Amino acid sequence: MNQPLCYENNYASSIFNQVFEILNISSNQKLNFSFDHNWKNQNQKSFLIVPGASINNRCYKIEDFIFLAELFENKTVSFLLGPSDYFLSRYIPKKFEVFKSNSIQDSLSLVSNQRLVVASEGGFMHIAAAFGVPLIGLFKVAKKENWFPYENSNQFAVGDSTNDYSFSLKNYNFPIKEVIKKINLIYDSI
């Protein structure tokens, strides 16, 4: 089998299946990307917003995430920032707790203790998804079908991205209505 040269129109699961075939590794049609220890509902109260993702052009504006947090002030909302996103802390109102992580262990510990994570496409999103944490993954640039292979009833990929990596000045509207709907759906279902 030839290696795919263009992933643009392939679903993530088909890309992984092609890789398994190339490496002569048998696989199921439904891949389980979860770690051995999945998230457990222990009536966690807080939810985490992860606005950054290393390449900030791939993320919605920090103001959009702050607006979202303020809509849910009746819940405990906090923010998680990675090293390349620390600068965002100066924009986040003091009423919200801000965690700064620089290791996968710290991130996994924090993410796994949340009721819900709302994250930009990137590493934190994949950590939450793989651990089975209820999640809303926000896709501004990458096509969600390419990068969200997870199959969990409490995890959603949101965005109408088209793999536009030119980072054009196109106005990307934060999908606030869909995010609110998914947050409420997750809270009602767990």
Q: Provide the pLDDT for residue 27.
A: 55
Structure tokens at 155: 């995890």
Specify the higher pLDDT residue, 68 or 28.
68
pLDDT tens sequence across 143-166: 787 777 777 888 999 987 777 766
Contact 127, 109 (CB under 8 A): no
What gap in Å lies between CA 7 and CA 37, rounded to an integer?
30
Q: Which residue has the tokens 């759906």?
A: 185
Work out the pLDDT band at 37, boundaries 50, 70, 90.
low
From CA 109, how far away is CA 42, in angstroms rounded? 14
Identify the CATH homologous superfamily for domain 37-189: Glycogen Phosphorylase B; (3.40.50.2000)
CA 177/CA 110 separation, integer angstroms: 26
Q: What is the pLDDT of residue 11?
A: 57
Residue type for 100, please?
Answer: K
> Do residues 56 and 126 touch, judged by C-beta distance below 8 A?
no
The whole-angstrom distance between residue 30's C-alpha and the CA centroid of its chain comes to 20
Question: Residue 23: what pLDDT?
Answer: 63
Q: Please say if the pLDDT value at position 63 is more than 90.
A: yes
Q: What is the pLDDT of residue 104?
A: 80
Residue 7 pLDDT: 47
Nearest of 139, 135, 138, 92 to residue 114 by alpha carbon: 135
Torsion of Cα atoms, 13 then 81 then 167 then 180, to 10°: 70
Say which residue the tokens 């090293």 belong to: 83
Question: Domain segments of the chain: what residues?
Answer: 1-31, 37-189
pLDDT digits (tens, 9 = 90+) for 92-109: 999 999 999 988 888 888
Alpha helices for 23-170 (secondary structure H): 62-71, 104-111, 123-131, 144-147
Yes or no: say if 40 and 134 are a contact pair by the CB < 8 Å rule.
no
Residue 142 and residue 51: Cα distance in Å, rounded?
A: 15
